[in-house]
Amino acid sequence: MDLDFAYHNPVKTFFGRTAMENLPDLLAQYGKNVLLAYGGGSIKRNGIYDQVMTCLKDCGKNVTEFSGIMANPTYAKVLEGARLARASGTDLILAVGGGSVIDCCKAVSIFAVEEGDLWTKYWLERQEPEVKPLPLGVVLTMAGTGSEMDGDAVITHEETRVKSSCSESAFYPDFAILNPVFTYSAPQYQMLSGIFDTFSHIMEAYFSPTDADNISDDLAEALMRSLIRNTAVALEDPEDYTARSNLMWASSLALSGLLNLSKTEDWEVHEIQHQLGAYYNVTHGMALAAISPAYYRTVCIHAIPRFKRFALNVWNVDPAGKTDEEMALAGIDALADYIRTSGMATSLRELGITDPSGLGEVASSCIRRPAGYHTLTRNEIYQILKDSF
């Protein structure tokens, strides 16, 4: 562990089939007015909405509903939620859903209590909050983003075509309810998207300096092997509790901060995907799957030992007769095979991007991060997008 660090994760987390039994005691710690946030209404079809509403009513809460949060939450949607929170005197925001709902609610939590150009202040300039956001609780229904265990909030500003994250300790949820059974009703496409989002979160830290003996990397490898193993089981039986619980907890651990300790963290793959998401309505995890092999083939030459270790320890690639560079590329090929055989997106065309002429503008808009093994040029990003098309 070469780099010094401080670690703190304040989210009180309840995991398992009985996790919801803790919600009444948690709700008792807040005032009477709750802003209940959710997405397109799937929680009403699968019965989770009724469970949550019954609990809220039994606890004597006044409920204001904030629904219709989209897969890529927008600045306009955040402003809508903030207006509802202020008008209802919200004491607690309860986000019921996946990462998009949670991210939107994190933004609402600060927009509801502070005025001014908060998009520039927190999402572009990434200043520290000057006021305390509204409390936020989570009932997770979709595994993948890890937003229930971190302070990150990804929002799309439609007018400027910028999709950006704000990462502050102030935006950590107060508590999270994680029942793997709640993820059963997610369509296979969304399950796979969440799985690769988790995989990508792990790789963003793993494929970054330092490469010194580091328990964070050992944990990352174990989690990646678990994802590979449990993906196959969940595809065979989407209601296999062990597989779905492992996938859910891996997602939470991936962004809990544990894997980032003593690492610089790359995050360039996410920066590229964010701008794809700002220009095209693509599913986050699937877009990450589509561009990751091309990205890692571009940067692996700058970190051959790390990519060789990835091939050996994650994919069990046989090193016999292979050079170090061949091993490094074989590990990326194994990743690409996993994406393909699992039914994840292997190209941008599969995501509905039929015309590549706009990819140059996407490349020009991407933030280029210096924390990985190689800082990409604009032309390298453009080539990655073309190779992924």
| Spatial CB neighbours of 266, under 8 Å, sequence gap ≥ 6 | 203, 204, 205, 207, 208, 369, 371, 372, 373
The string of DSSP codes covering 188-254 is HHHHHHHHHHHHHHHHHHHTSS--SS-HHHHHHHHHHHHHHHHHHHHHH-TT-HHHHHHHHHHHHHH
CA angle 36, 102, 255 (to 5 degrees): 150
Of 3, 11, 5, nearest to 255 by C-alpha is 11
Burial 258-290 (b: 16+ CB within 10 A, else e): bbbbbbbbbbbbbbbbbbbbbbbebbbbbbbbb
pLDDT per residue as tens, the chain (389 positions):
667 777 788 999 999 999 999 999 999 999 999 999 999 888 998 899 999 999 999 999 999 999 999 988 999 999 999 999 999 999 999 999 999 999 999 999 999 999 989 999 999 888 888 899 999 999 999 999 999 999 999 999 999 988 888 877 889 999 999 999 999 999 999 999 999 999 999 999 999 999 999 999 999 999 999 999 999 999 999 999 999 999 999 999 999 999 999 999 999 999 999 999 989 989 999 999 999 999 999 999 999 999 999 999 999 999 999 999 999 999 999 999 999 999 999 999 999 999 999 999 999 999 898 889 999 999 999 999 999 99
Q: Do the Cβ atoms of 80 and 66 come closer than 8 Å?
A: yes
Tokens of 67: 């629904």
Supply the pLDDT for residue 2. Answer: 65
CATH 1.20.1090.10 residue ranges in the chain? 189-388
- At 369 the pLDDT is 86
SS3 389: coil
pTM: 0.94
* Second CATH level (architecture) for the domain 12-182: 3-Layer(aba) Sandwich (3.40)
Q: Which CATH class, in words, describes the domain spanning 189-388?
A: mainly alpha
Q: What is the pLDDT of residue 1?
A: 62
Which residues are CB-neighbours of 324 under 8 A, at least 6 positions away? 304, 305, 308
- Token digits for 323? 């050079």
Cis peptide, bond prior to residue 210, ω within 30 of zero: yes
Give start-end residues of each CATH 3.40.50.1970 domain in the chain: 12-182
Q: Among all chains, which residue has been given the structure tokens 């794809």?
A: 276
- Is 81 in contact with 109 (CB distance < 8 Å)? no
